[in-house]
Amino acid sequence: MTADCGIDVGGGRQPDLTIWAKGKPPRRARSSYAGLNGLLLAVEVVSPDSEMIDHVIKKAEYAAARVPRYWIVDGDKGKTVRMFRLVETGYETEREPSSLAWLLNEPTPDIG
């Protein structure tokens, strides 16, 4: 798990949290951002001024860059977590939106 790790998705993006495969830590790509080899999950926490960017722009960029999983934590009262898994055509919903409290109290989902 890595915080403050920018990733190279054609341009630089800095997810709020990234999870990498064991033995494949983030490594620089063609810029100061990490390449995507070993990246399993990118997580964004939505703030009022980033809602459209996180739900639309970053989601499209991460899908185009073939990031395997993308989770969005909304800033609503329940801190709703939306989990997406990459398929051929982009992201599909991996499970129904759940509260962050539910996710933190469940066994760690298999993302690798």
- Tell whether 12 is covered by a domain: yes
- Tell whether 112 is covered by a domain: no
- The β-bridge relationship of strands 12-13 and 39-45 is unpaired
Question: What is the longest distance spanned by two Cα atoms in the chain?
Answer: 40
- Tell whether 27 is covered by a domain: yes
pLDDT at 75: 85
pLDDT-derived band at 32, boundaries 50, 70, 90: confident
* Total domain count, the chain: 1
- Tell whether 81 is covered by a domain: no
pLDDT-derived band at 2, boundaries 50, 70, 90: low
pLDDT tens per residue, range 51-72: 999 999 999 999 999 999 999 9
- Tell whether 1 is covered by a domain: no
Q: Is the pLDDT of residue 31 over 70?
A: no
- Tell whether 28 is covered by a domain: yes
pLDDT at 69: 96
Q: 24 lies in which domain range?
A: 7-73+86-105
Burial of 35 (0-12, 13-18, 19+ CB in 10 A): middle
pLDDT at 1: 58
pTM: 0.86
